[in-house]
Structures are given as C-alpha cells and as structure tokens.
A = this chain, B = another copy of it.
Amino acid sequence: MKIAGVIVEYNPFHNGHLYHLNETRKVTSADVVVAVMSGSFLQRGEPALVDKWSRTRMALQNGVDIVIELPYVYATQKAEIFAKGAISLLSSIGVDELCFGSESGSIHEFQNTIAFVDSHEKEYNERIKYFMSEGNNYPKATSLAFQSLQGHEDVLDLSQPNNILGFQYVRAIHAQNAPIRPTTILRTKAGYHDQELTDTKIASATGIRNELLSKGSPLESIQAYVPEPTYNELQQYKETYSTFHGWHKLYHLLRYKLLTASPVKLASIYEAEEGLENRLITMAKTAPTFQDFMVAVKTKRYTWTRIQRFALHILTETTKDEMRPALEDRAPYLRLLGMSGVGRSYLNEIKNSLPVPLVSNINQFHHPFLTTERRVNQVYALGFTGKHQEEFLMKEYKTSPIIL
C-alpha cells in the first residue's frame, strides 16, 4: 500500500489545492493521502479564516483521507521548524512519499541545492550574516547569500516562498533520516502572495481571503476559484457566523495586551528581540486597526511575517520557554482531525505500531504542547461572538474526529 503525504493550511481549500491533490495521487499512485494541516493559527502568524473543523471537512470532501493537525508550536514558525514538525508527523504516520508544490517543479533542483548549501555551509552562513549587517531581513539575506555563492549549478530560486518551504521539507527528511521520498509539482498560475483574482479558475488563497474579508463582497465573487464542497462549506460558515476570522477579530485583544504589558514581560515571549517589543507597544497606542499597526511597526529589518508571528505569540502569550522543545524535538503525538473510510481502514491497520500516540480526543492525552494548544484555541474562540465561542471550544474538546 502506497501512502502519500501533503503539508497544507487550506485557508481556504481552493482549485489550486485540488490540482495539487489530484496530481499527488497521479504522480505517487497513492492509496491513501495524508494531510498535515495547521490548526487555528497559520505559518504567517494569522488566525485561520475558517476554523480547523471546517477546513478538515473541505480536505476530506476534496479527496484527503487523513487530516492530522500540525501543533501550534510548529505551525506558527519559520519554514525550517514548520517543516521539521510536519515531516516528523508524516514520518510517524508511515508516509512513503511527500508531494509538495513549488515554483521550481524539479526535485533535482531541491536535491542539488541542499548538496550545494551543505558543501558551502560556512561561507553561506557568513554571507547571510554579511547581508543582514547590510540591513536586509533574514529571508532576503538568505536568498542573497545563496545567489552570491551559486555558480551555474542547477539550483533553486530561493526567493520563491514555496521553494523555500520545499527546500526545508527535503532538508528535514534528510536530517530526520525519514523513509520518505520527496517529489514536487510545479505550481500553476497564481503566485503565493498574489492579492488579486486575475484568472478564472486558479487564485491564491491570499486573493480569496482578501475577497472574502472585503466589506460588501458577495460570496459568489470567489465561487469560480474553489471546488463546490469548499463553496458550500464557506456558505454555511458565513450563514452561521456572518463573518470570517482574521486579525481584525483579535486586534483589540492584542492592543489591550500591548497597552498593559511591561516590556520586561514581553521579552519572555517567543520571537521577542531587543527593541522590537518596545516598538510594538508604542505603535499599539495609536494604531486603530491591525493593518495600521503592522504598517507602523514594519521596518526593513523585519519581514511582515516575522512581526505578525511575534504579534501572534504576544496575543497567545506563548513564551520562549514553551517553544524551546519544538525547536529540538519531533512532534510527540498525532492529533487526528478527520478521516475518510479509506483513511480509517489504514489507521486501524497501523494504529498498534505507531511510534507516537494517535490522539482523537485531546482531553484524554496530556502533553505540554496540548496545554499551549488549549490556550491558543481559547484565544481563537474569542474571535467568535456569543454562543459560537463555546460551540467552537466544545468541538475542540469534545468532538471526535470528523469522519466522511
């Protein structure tokens, strides 16, 4: 039996994701497709547009067999740690092949790049430092360092976001000696960050989110870009909650925290760095919206994502101490969010030989990562109004995995 893995956020699931999923099945001839998916908060330091249960349903309805949650402590990290957590979960659940989308589309470029970086590690790190000292932020410095070193080898364009992620996936597979074969699919059309809906079928998740969050925009405006099950799910979601989640729902809490917290306390928060916390405190005093706040805080030295992740950890009160184990360790449990019939059979088959516990109900398993998970989900819940807060938390604590 062939098991393929994908690493996703599905925020929300769109036609590009469906293409990737279908190609994954085709390329790998997989019998079972496992998705490791972020939960309430995403890699860019944002709350998920729709909750994890809704996104799990979208995944299952579009062909995923098993959805495993990527814990917050990995999901909200830079590519390297995000990848480490995700790969360790795929490895634990017995995935044979990882299939990721990239701007490159050639797995050889990934392999070559890793070999190149490994053999130039010292110079590479020195150049990163040099480019950072020139005032570049980390991702930019990494990309410049890499460009400045490479000759005519067949290597990656590491300024592309999906190439960066893929690069870290393949690196994590090597580092963990995971028995997973990586393959990649060329991403089609819309760029990762493209903000506008320009094509009739494929649009970036960012573009779709912007459309969904813009006032007065009807749901129909994104209908062409998402599979029918996603559309139905979004429609039901909007009927229930009237709006979608986002920083706009939680900024007042971040602001309040920044206005009352002392810089000393903020310094213990993960991603705090000398001076940055003071900057956030100062800007929170006057910025009325999250967008205003981010624009005010942004400097050349820090990427938008870096600041947004720090803001998220302040919001969720996630400390450096709490994050430390995630930087070192493999993911210590598999939290099952949902499964298809096929997924269920597979899990029944392997459940007694899994190297880590399979957790269906987080009330029945204890781990420090789940303490973090409970807290951050309490915060996510505050983005809902009235009884929906409790409903979400009930789902979080008491629902069995979704079975399709």
Contact = CB atoms under 8 A, between A and B. Distances in A.
Nearest to A250: B256
A255 B382 contact: yes
A317 B386 contact: no
B379 A260 contact: yes
A375 B261 CA distance: 9
B259 A375 contact: yes
10 smallest beta-carbon distances between A and B, as pairs: A260-B317, A259-B378, A253-B256, A256-B382, A260-B375, A260-B379, A260-B316, A259-B379, A261-B317, A288-B386
Interface in A238-260: 252-253, 255-257, 259-260
A222 B227 CA distance: 58
A286 B397 CA distance: 13
A230 B285 CA distance: 31
A194 interface: no
A391 interface: no
A390 interface: yes
A interface majority secondary structure? helix
Given A260-B378, A375-B259, A390 B317 contact: no
Contacts of A285: 378, 393
Contacts of A252: 253, 382
Interface string A280-309: 000001101000000000000000000000
Interface string A37-66: 000000000000000000000000000000
Contacts of A389: 288
A5 to B, nearest CB: 33
A256 B379 contact: yes
A261 B315 CA distance: 11
A90 B389 CA distance: 48
B259 A382 contact: yes
Interface in A288-342: 288, 315-317
Contacts of A316: 260
A129 to B, nearest CB: 36
A375 B256 CA distance: 10
Interface string A371-390: 00001001100100011011
